[in-house]
Amino acid sequence: MKRLKISKYFEWLKMGAKIQLFDRGILLENIFNFIFQIFLSYFLWKGIYGSNKILNGRNFQQMINYIILSVGISNIFVYPNIYFMSMDIKSGNIAYTLLKPIDYQMQFIFKNIGIVLPILVISIFSVLVFQIFIFSIDMPVNFIYFVISVFLSLLTVITFDFILGMVCFWTENSWGVSTLEFAIVSFFSGRLIPLDFFPKNFRYLFIEILPFSGIIYTPIDIYQNYWSANDFLMYLIQQSGWIIILLLIGRYIFNIARNHVFINGG
């Protein structure tokens, strides 16, 4: 890999932020989706709890806190990266991008961090509104650990999206790949159902082995429960290790795809 000049990638970060801020409709849609998902999940879990005060160690108020945080975090990753990558591939514009003296993978990562920043602000604002006016949400037990965990969550999603986006070089369209990404992230991250609701063996696989728990479940667990410095350090090592692995897999697939473009002319 060529030596990266970080400054030029920060320009892509700023460009990503401008993309979101330019279209206010996207921001309003994000707020509407947040509110809709909160109330839909609220009535769903209200029906699941029924007359039960506690399910799997959580009372209903704790579950509402989980839902609001889950929707708030997952709404950060709503930008259709894979779709736009597939459009560039189908149109042939990707060939011009690959010819530029810039690392495409790093460009993708920095641009998407920039895209996320405005949505992150909106998500934080939306959660605060729900905390003050609608539902009472507990404050984070360790705010710094939570912020770091959310940033790792962001990098996990972006690096995973890049891998699936590269798959679009060999697929007809992005619909199936995007659906796969949504299913994996929603199920294995704890977005739909908290991972501690699963049987013991599945819980160990989902939380301790796979990287996807670090997208939703673990940040919320850090938010709601006390984590010692050693516990957080182990999580930091595990999640950072997975991000590096995803980066390397993405790089490997990217090199194959790039050679495919140059050899076959697009």
- The neighbouring-strand residues paired with 58 are 55
Tens digit of pLDDT for each residue in 104-162?
Answer: 888 888 888 888 888 877 777 777 777 766 777 777 888 899 999 999 999 999 999 99
* Pairing verdict, β 58-59 and 54-55: antiparallel
- Cβ atoms of 104 and 187 closer than 8 Å: no
Whole-number Å distance between alpha carbons of 183 and 177: 10
| pLDDT of 160 | 94
pLDDT at 256 over 50: yes
Handedness of CA 30, 63, 150, 158 (dihedral sign): negative
Whole-number Å distance between alpha carbons of 61 and 74: 20
> What are the phi and psi torsion angles at 182 (to 5°)?
-60, -45
Q: Mean pLDDT of all residues in the chain?
A: 83
**pTM exceeding 0.75:** yes
Q: How far apart are the first and last CA of the chain?
A: 22
pLDDT at 264 over 70: no
Q: Is 155 exposed, middle or buried (0-12, 13-18, 19+ CB in 10 A)?
A: buried
| pLDDT of 1 | 44
Length of the chain (residues): 266
Query: Which of 128-137, 183-192, 257-266 reaches the highest mean pLDDT?
Result: 183-192
**Exposure of 42 in the CB half-sphere (CA atoms within 13 A):** 14
Q: Which of 61-65, 74-78, 89-93 has the lowest mean pLDDT?
A: 89-93
Return the percentage of the chain with pLDDT > 90, whole number: 27
- Cβ atoms of 157 and 213 closer than 8 Å: no
| pLDDT of 26 | 67
Whole-number Å distance between alpha carbons of 266 and 262: 7
Q: What mean pLDDT is predicted for residues 25-53? A: 83
